[in-house]
Amino acid sequence: MMKKLVITFVMLLTSVVIRAGEVPLLGNVLNRPTTTLNGDWNYIVDVQECGYYDYRHNKLRWGFFQNAKPKQPEDLIEYDFDKSDKMQIPSDWNTRDQRLFFYEGTVWFKRSFNYQPKPGHRTLLYFGAVNYEAIVFVNGVEVGKHVGGFTPFNFDVTEQIHEGENFVIVKVDNKRDKDNVPTLIFDWWNYGGITRDVMLVDVPQTYIENYSLQLDRNNLKQLNFSLQLNEKVAGREVSILIPELKVKRTLITDADGRIAAMLKAKPQLWSPENPKLYKVELTLDGETLADEIGFRTIETRGKQLLLNGKPIFLKGISIHEEKPNGGGRANSREDAQTLLSWAKELGCNFVRLAHYPHNEFMVREAERMGILVWSEIPVYWTISWTNEQTFANASRQLNDMIRRDQNRANVIIWSIANETPHSAERDAFLGRLARQAHEMDGTRLVSMAMEVLSAPNYHNRLQDNMNQYVDVISFNQYIGWYRDVKDASKMTWEIPYEKPVIISEFGGGAKYGLHGQKNQRWTEEFQENLYIENTAMLDKIEGLAGTTPWILKDFRSPRRVLNGIQDYYNRKGLYSDKGEKKKAFYVLKAWYEGK
């Protein structure tokens, strides 16, 4: 027994401990001095990973990461990055290279660049996200490995980088695995690649790693501030300035390199109607890190959801991270602006960023536009609940999602899972995640998308042991799609928990431009009718605090194979993949106008 315990403990340690080279995530990277490494990268598709393993499947010392070149005419080197194709980064290879549309495996990427490190400073290499596993090399030296396709990570590469010409090589592998998060099956495209921005970040030897600035939920004249340096050094002065609120304080770090302080201020509150952000400046050793931060409270009272103390109905829509008009993974500020403007046109004040943390532009643009956010980790369907490494992986993704966005006023819900099968093992796994989210962030709400499993005599009773761990009860239901639409008007609902309720999904598929009777599947009329029936039904649910129908836009999924209709798209969008509005769009818009 003891032995088993020890092994579990060691496994836990090795899987969560950050490897040499990798350092805890930098907060607010967008406002730091950075050098972009976006642009053209050479790439090599390596189906059998022969750039990493020899013919006995031992790890090679002379793998592709060396970026070797023949020195003598007789030298045998069977790859050459500089002669291989180029791909624009960030992107996904499935969209960028036709041959790789269905590819799941390893691709190597290389980028050479000139750099002048600032004397006495450190250089961090930051990736917004790489799907799924990244092994990163700088000038031939491995600096670390990262798993998880939707969260940022960074390495301290000060030792490996030098003045002049450098190269970064990344081995990216998006093979699915049952122990991964997400697991083998999921209803979206497994876009592989360096899918978000890559940059070098210039930081001083001692730098502000991250910080949190929040309105006190019980005292609207107080801001709670905490900050963490990268080193455990006491006595360092950090000043915080919020000019518009006349806040100007100099604070001193403790022995852990931390600051915790309460600041007097009475900000205007951030809300969808008034998405007010304040300029905030943090200065350490004469170097200033700026941010824009909004202040609000979010809490529950019985079945009500209160934003700034007032009940709010969340008029939402679910969104996958795909470019608005085709073109694979979304990754830019412009993509975010377009997708969110579509949500605005629908009348939304809320978006569910499904089923994984989206890029930082999505969250920041939504904040500017007054759109509240549900952010989620890809603990989706059937996870390996008893595998401690799987847990460590999910826990790490939750950590990094929270750490990146903890100062965004619009993020109100951390979601820990979607449609997971009930079991004691699941409850233990998710219970730990819920506790972690609450411990890391006491100012936001925790939820997860649950399911109603059966409805005898048209009576739906939600029952999920996880109810006690979450602040908001959310569930997905597909009446009219996976169940007869005529059932909608007969349905009664019982949600026996004194907590606000969000219907985190409902909807059905339609091919844009296909018309027919309302009982004809795949027509716009079928989807339109489904929305009419469902919105009428939702109006009868007691304690309904909001909904995020499925989904803003048609999105790619390998599970959707019906020729001529789906063609590898999930067609439940209110917009087509090209941004055309389907009839159901107007039903939901009108319903939201009445809310």
**Calpha distance 454→461 (Å, rounded):** 8
Cβ-based nearer residue to ligand GCB, 418 or 436: 418
Minimum CB separation from ligand GCB for residue 177, in Å?
A: 19
* Bridge-based pairing state of the strands 208-216 and 133-138: unpaired
Cβ-based nearer residue to ligand GCB, 122 or 355: 355
Minimum CB separation from ligand GCB for residue 129, in Å?
A: 19
Q: Which residue has the tokens 């019906």?
A: 562
Sort 196 into a burial class: Cβ within 10 Å, 0-12 / 13-18 / 19+: buried
**Calpha distance 590→488 (Å, rounded):** 19
Q: Binders of ligand GCB: how many residues, by CB under 6 A? A: 9
**Calpha distance 530→549 (Å, rounded):** 12
Minimum CB separation from ligand GCB for residue 418, in Å?
A: 5
Cβ-based nearer residue to ligand GCB, 396 or 556: 556
Minimum CB separation from ligand GCB for residue 90, in Å?
A: 23
By CB under 6 A, the residues from 310 to 369 that bind ligand GCB are 355
Cβ-based nearer residue to ligand GCB, 505 or 525: 505
CB 451 within 8 A of CB 460: no
Minimum CB separation from ligand GCB for residue 151, in Å?
A: 19
In a 13 Å sphere around the CA of 151, the CA atoms on its Cβ side amount to 29
Cβ-based nearer residue to ligand GCB, 296 or 355: 355
Minimum CB separation from ligand GCB for residue 132, in Å?
A: 18
Give the H or E element holding residue 389: helix 388-405
Nearest to 504 by CA among 542, 437, 450: 450
Nearest to 322 by CA among 308, 301, 336, 304: 336
Minimum CB separation from ligand GCB for residue 180, in Å?
A: 16
- Name the residue with the smallest CB distance to ligand GCB: 187
Minimum CB separation from ligand GCB for residue 510, in Å?
A: 12
Cβ-based nearer residue to ligand GCB, 92 or 376: 376
Query: Which amino acid makes up residue 495?
Result: I
The verdict on 419 binding ligand GCB (CB under 6 A) reads yes
Cβ-based nearer residue to ligand GCB, 109 or 493: 493
By CB under 6 A, the residues from 551 to 580 that bind ligand GCB are 570, 572
**Calpha distance 171→108 (Å, rounded):** 5
* Bridge-based pairing state of the strands 121-127 and 198-204: antiparallel
Cβ-based nearer residue to ligand GCB, 294 or 378: 378
Query: Which amino acid makes up residue 270?
Result: W
Minimum CB separation from ligand GCB for residue 491, in Å?
A: 17
Question: Collapsing DSSP states into helix, strand and coil, what is residue 38?
Answer: coil
Binding mask 210-249 for ligand GCB (x = CB under 6 A): ----------------------------------------
Tell which one of 42, 476, 548, 576 touches ligand GCB (CB under 6 A): 476
Nearest to 462 by CA among 351, 544, 527: 544
Write the CA distances from 265 to 108, 269, 294, integer angstroms.
51, 12, 13
Q: Largest alpha-carbon pair distance within the chain?
A: 80
| Tokens of residue 396, six digits | 């790490």
Q: What share of the chain is helix, strand, coil (3-state, %, to 5)?
A: 20, 35, 45
Binding mask 108-147 for ligand GCB (x = CB under 6 A): ----------------------------------------
The verdict on 464 binding ligand GCB (CB under 6 A) reads no
Cβ-based nearer residue to ligand GCB, 270 or 550: 550
The verdict on 505 binding ligand GCB (CB under 6 A) reads yes
Q: Which residue has the tokens 């004040």?
A: 349
Write the CA distances from 247 to 79, 237, 243, 590, integer angstroms.
58, 16, 6, 44
Minimum CB separation from ligand GCB for residue 509, in Å?
A: 7
Cβ-based nearer residue to ligand GCB, 108 or 506: 506
Cβ-based nearer residue to ligand GCB, 29 or 450: 450
Cβ-based nearer residue to ligand GCB, 427 or 505: 505
Dihedrals φ, ψ of 307, to 5°?
Answer: -105, 125
| Tokens of residue 387, six digits | 């595998």
**Calpha distance 88→356 (Å, rounded):** 23
Tell which one of 550, 569, 585, 591 touches ligand GCB (CB under 6 A): 550
Q: Which residues contact 594 (CB under 8 A, 6 or more apart)?
A: none
By CB under 6 A, the residues from 16 to 55 that bind ligand GCB are none
Minimum CB separation from ligand GCB for residue 335, in Å?
A: 20
CB atoms within 10 A of CB 570: 22
Minimum CB separation from ligand GCB for residue 504, in Å?
A: 8
Minimum CB separation from ligand GCB for residue 113, in Å?
A: 38
Interface residues toward ligand GCB, by CB under 6 A: 187, 355, 418-419, 476, 505, 550, 570, 572
